[in-house]
Amino acid sequence: MSDLAAGTTGRSLAADLVMLTKPRIISLLLVTTAAPMYIAGSPSWVTVLVVMVGGYLMAGGANAVNMYIDQDIDDRMARTRLRPIPGGRMTPRAVLAFGLALAVGATWLLAWSVNVLTAALALGGFYFYIFIYTRWLKRTTPQNIVIGGAAGAFPPLVGWAATTGTVDLTAIYLFLIVFYWTPPHFWALALLKQADYGRAGVPMAPVIWGERETMDQMLWYTLLLIALTVLPVTYGAFGLVYLASALALGGALLWGVLRMRRSTPWTGAAWWVYKYSLLYLALLFVAMAVDVKV
């Protein structure tokens, strides 16, 4: 209890622990973990449940450690200053211990209940997010989210390995789809929160490149993403149901990015792109799972 702020109640502590894991962000990661499991085969509900729990614990642990590392800048940003550390409700040591405990528990659960490859891939995503993105890239280059975004692309590999025990070409494509989806998704938010990042000294793309160049980069990554989503169809991994879904969903995302570039002011259109991109990725992975089962 010495690591908690005075006056912390059991209810508020539970709420803070949940906040540390960033459940809203993890919900999308779990979709991109579960769908590949059904694309790759027919896993039992027990395996799916274990992977979901393990995936949540691992991602939640990474998010908690991220908040420990970013404690010096979180109180400078409006959207992060209410987190447990800058809010004075938990000490940095308690947050770090919580994050590491979740990661250790997730590694043991996945290795013991599923397979070692699944645990290793999940742990690889944890380390990539903490050391490559948070510790290295985030504060040094506007390309931070491009390279560091690979951390969020590990869940499809985790799900695939949980069902098959291996990683093949289709799994790599799923990884790349999330990888190329991340820049247009995150930069839409970064455009809206650029003042926050500027105050915190974080070199996000809009702060360094400016708004127009960031929007241009979002357009190029969206075009690459749409092309990439079609490629698995060319060698038979997916069929017409997925192809139609990928083109329709991608077309809507492209329309949103183009509308944002033309709009004055562009803030409303940027919010639409950010929120739709979340739905886009979830529906795209659901379409994959549906396609292979029909």
Residues 155-213: tens digit of each pLDDT: 999 999 999 999 999 999 999 999 999 999 999 999 999 999 999 999 999 999 999 99
Domain with 267, as residue range(s), is: 168-294
Share of the chain above pLDDT 90, in %: 91
Segment 97-114 shows an average pLDDT of 98
Among 204, 187, 184, 186, residue whose Cα is nearest residue 195: 204
Cα atoms found within 13 Å of the Cα of residue 34, Cβ hemisphere only: 21
Q: Tell me the pLDDT tens digit for each residue of 256-267.
A: 999 999 999 999
* Helix (H) or strand (E) segment spanning residue 294: none
| 234 and 189 both lie in a single domain | yes
List, in sequence order, every residue forming a beta bridge with 4; answer none if it has no partner: 90
∠ CA(103), CA(104), CA(110), 5° rounding? Answer: 85
Cβ atoms of 292 and 238 within 8 Å: the answer is: yes
How far apart (Å, rounded) are the C-alpha atoms in residues 69 and 134?
A: 7
* CB atoms closer than 10 angstroms to residue 33: 28
CATH number of the domain to which 1 belongs: 1.10.357.140
Predicted TM-score of the model (pTM): 0.93
Residue 1, pLDDT score: 42
How high is the pLDDT of residue 3?
A: 55
Query: Looking at the structure, do residues 129 and 201 belong to the same domain, yes or no?
Result: no
Q: Is residue 2 pLDDT above 80, yes or no?
A: no
Q: What gap in Å lies between CA 140 and CA 156, rounded to an integer?
A: 28
Of 25-34, 77-86, 218-227, which gets the smallest average pLDDT? Answer: 77-86
Residue range 205-225: average pLDDT? 97
d(CA 161, CA 165): 4
- Number of domains composing the chain: 2
Tell whether 80 and 160 lie within a shared domain.
Answer: yes
> Is residue 190 located within the same domain as residue 117?
no
Is the per-residue pLDDT at 283 higher than 60?
Answer: yes
* Whole-number pLDDT of residue 275: 98
- The residue among 62, 36, 161 whose CA lies nearest residue 110 is 161
Is the bond preceding residue 183 a cis peptide, omega within 30 degrees? no
Instruction: Identify which of 229, 217, 63 has the alpha carbon closest to the alpha carbon of residue 152.
Output: 63
pLDDT score for 7: 47
Task: Please state, rounded to an integer, the average pLDDT across all residues of the chain.
Answer: 94
Same-domain check for residues 237 and 280: yes
